[in-house]
Structure 1
């Protein structure tokens, strides 16, 4: 017995510690793939792993981190304990922090703590910074963020951004995503920006200086419901491959600046286009425009708040499609207007408005049946999605045109339709199935 115990002790002393002698790149990958809780626990494995944890460059305090932590605490102590745990993690870290992601959960009241944490990492070379504030009131971003000059990725949600006076911009930023962010002073994100996404932000007029120079690296620009938008900014974004303009707040004094034809023509690399249908009003339809306007690289077009009773927008979306020989995907998002007993869209309840709506839809149907559209071919179109279809004659005629003009079409999906009557739905589906198709593979998918 004694000899066996002695042998086991000898074996332990001479055993090879394989887990502590792994190559550096392997241990780095292990830590990167572990949740923060589990990554912290590796520090008890050995002195080597304790040192590795202290040098861990990626700190992600996300939903998974908080849910695991908070589930074991009562409401009275969880804020102070969470604050202490995160502060301790930052305290033991003695290396660079390349990624810092922080979620501020609702009712956790961590704004003051966040100020201190951002101050602590501001001189540690952080490159990827994300802050998602779920509190009902915005987080006023500390000025220490603007000291993180090595940032390459910045993502903020529900914040107030107040840059220091004469802030010169970030020299290395390539990707910026802002959601529900208020910008209070003039600023720029720098000249190396590749991606800029602004979603329900205010104060974007303070980004004027961002668009005073040629954004030669900017390939993606998306602006969603961000108040007044200066159309002239797009004159400095000719390298764009993805463009999204989902806003309608353009002052009357600036509407004359909108030129959709010039915009598309000056962006020859554009591949994906998201538009509010409002902008379709600013494209002069006709054969002359189609000849001038050629978007050879456009493969996906998405039009939001589309209206099938608006003849101008119908004409112009077809104009854009015809001018895009490589278009593969078309998405139309509608508001789901109420329709009359004859399947016509109604945009109002009064007798006058009902009559006006029916007349507009009738004009659209007549246009879609015109001989001038018979020769229209969408050579590469493969997929179409129509959201919130109401079953109007204009919609059915538009689908009929696409089926007859798209030799490579795979499917048309009708999503979230607003047709409540099963009999009416069946009648419309039967009519759709009877339409002639240029592609034998084309399907109508009703979901």
Structure 2
């Protein structure tokens, strides 16, 4: 005879089974949608519900071991115990998963040295045998993680993202055949490597060894988006980039004068399809020395519509001449932006925003500012002021609609450049001007009054961000 307690337990079990069965009988697409919305640890636990769920989890295409996954494992235990629990959790999940893994992400937290665990290499070996398409490994440790050779066995890889790793391909590695997008952040490349003939997007942030990527820039290259932020560059790489339409260059500080070998005419001529360009002051300083800076390039950038300058010093006559040369050489320019540094906001506006990934003691950043008050002293900007007083020939920008200048300190050179843009752009609709926080109120008010008087009869809307 069953007791009341047993009857209640049996009734509860029937209700749970009934609910589980109803969910299990949903279409496979809906079940996959449920798993996608669950953290990977909870998704793996569904395998104990029933045989149906075990089969569904076994073929679930996403394995996401992100910061949230590891934060759930961190407790008041000592570091060694935390590391043991994290490794065990990942091993258990991979053991239950038997099907293809299309999307894989592994985040190595700063407080769990998984980059030093041999198990991490075996995780990648496991993934490499499961037809992975999207592979992301982000290392937040102070020591770079050396990618095992198993990565180069991912022949169906379509998208690759690496953060703070050492990349050394095997000697006989022939390249990835299906790879279309690569993002490298603080990656050290130690040997020649090919990402394959289908590569379309290459983003590199604070990388070392870019010279080993020379085979990517051959005539047969499909590369269309190229972003290099704070890297070492061999300028010969840009001789064959005919299909590139978006390029962003923010370089490391050049210390060797022999590195200043960029020929601006050749650089522009190698990318005839370029429609979006972001360069910084170090790029301008890397240009090949010329006795006379041309007013306009021989090869015009006919397709360029968006032009961004970062860290340009209004006190530097050479930089300003190159800025005007690039502007005049862009007859179809629609949007012009100038900012003090190549920050996240500027790069996002340029369509080249990167996912920031910061190592423990080496944050990605740039403290340069070509517009700071120290640089723009009373004497340093005199040559620029004199130059901008002269009539600027061939300066009709009839397609330009928006100008955005930030980080202003209120120098005379800045004001004259702004006036030049106003009088040279008959179709200009909006000019947005932002001051540096170091600019005092009196200077801001003076600039505001002068621009109001200068622009009162024009149709351009001038927005002053005080």
The interval holding the TM-score normalised by the smaller chain is 0.7 to 0.9
Q: Which of the residues 328, 335, 349 maps onto 2:334?
A: 328
**Structure 1 residue 249 corresponds to structure 2 residue 254:** yes
Distance, in Å, in 2 between the alignment partners of 1:207 and 1:15 is 55
Q: Which of the residues 119, 135, 143 maps onto 1:129?
A: 135
Aligned to 1:224: 229
Distance 1:415 1:115, change over 3 A: farther
Aligned to 2:275: 271
| Runs of at least 5 residues in structure 1 that lack an aligned partner in the other structure | 347-353
Task: Name the SS of the counterpart of 1:377 in structure 2.
Answer: coil
**Structure 1 residue 390 corresponds to structure 2 residue 404:** no
Aligned to 1:446: 465
Aligned to 1:79: 83
Distance 1:43 1:9, change over 3 A: closer
Aligned to 1:101: 105
- Residue range with higher mean Cα deviation, 268-277 or 21-30: 21-30
CA contact (8 A) 1:406 1:439 kept: no
Q: Which of the residues 81, 89, 96 maps onto 1:92?
A: 96
Task: Name the SS of the counterpart of 1:178 in structure 2.
Answer: strand
**Structure 1 residue 166 corresponds to structure 2 residue 172:** yes
TM-fit CA distance, 1:217: 1.2
- Residue range with higher mean Cα deviation, 117-126 or 68-77: 68-77
**Structure 1 residue 114 corresponds to structure 2 residue 120:** yes
CA contact (8 A) 1:432 1:444 kept: no
CA contact (8 A) 2:20 2:49 kept: no
Distance 1:394 1:185, change over 3 A: same
Aligned length: 425
| TM-score normalised by length of structure 2 | 0.82
Distance 1:267 1:13, change over 3 A: closer
Distance, in Å, in 1 between the alignment partners of 2:257 and 2:111 is 42
Aligned to 1:351: none
Mapping for residues 154-233 of structure 1, pairs under 5 Å: 154-211=160-217, 213-227=218-232, 229-233=233-237
Distance, in Å, in 1 between the alignment partners of 2:456 and 2:51 is 70
- Residue range with higher mean Cα deviation, 435-444 or 182-191: 435-444
Distance, in Å, in 2 between the alignment partners of 1:78 and 1:14 is 38
Task: Name the SS of the counterpart of 2:426 in structure 1.
Answer: coil
TM-fit CA distance, 1:99: 1.0
Aligned to 2:361: none
Q: Deviations over 1:79-115 (max 9, x none)?
A: 1111111111111101001111110000201122321
Distance, in Å, in 1 between the alignment partners of 2:91 and 2:18 is 39
Distance, in Å, in 2 between the alignment partners of 1:9 and 1:64 is 32
Distance, in Å, in 1 between the alignment partners of 2:16 and 2:234 is 72
Task: Name the SS of the counterpart of 2:409 in structure 1.
Answer: coil
Task: Name the SS of the counterpart of 1:19 in structure 2.
Answer: helix
Distance 1:99 1:72, change over 3 A: farther
Aligned to 2:426: 407
Distance 1:234 1:336, change over 3 A: closer
Distance 1:93 1:310, change over 3 A: same
Distance, in Å, in 2 between the alignment partners of 1:21 and 1:268 is 56
Distance, in Å, in 2 between the alignment partners of 1:175 and 1:17 is 41
- Residue range with higher mean Cα deviation, 22-31 or 194-203: 22-31
Distance, in Å, in 2 between the alignment partners of 1:409 and 1:389 is 20
Aligned to 1:27: 31
Distance, in Å, in 1 between the alignment partners of 2:15 and 2:185 is 58
Aligned to 1:49: 53
Distance 1:9 1:333, change over 3 A: closer
Task: Name the SS of the counterpart of 1:345 in structure 2.
Answer: coil
Distance 1:7 1:59, change over 3 A: closer
| Runs of at least 5 residues in structure 2 that lack an aligned partner in the other structure | 341-368
CA contact (8 A) 2:314 2:370 kept: no
Q: Which of the residues 382, 392, 400 maps onto 1:362?
A: 382
Task: Name the SS of the counterpart of 2:277 in structure 1.
Answer: strand
Aligned to 1:345: 376
Task: Name the SS of the counterpart of 2:52 in structure 1.
Answer: helix
Task: Name the SS of the counterpart of 2:23 in structure 1.
Answer: coil
How much is the aligned-residue C-alpha RMSD, in angstroms?
A: 3.0
- Residue range with higher mean Cα deviation, 82-91 or 258-267: 258-267
Distance 1:237 1:13, change over 3 A: closer
Distance 1:416 1:372, change over 3 A: closer
Task: Name the SS of the counterpart of 1:321 in structure 2.
Answer: helix
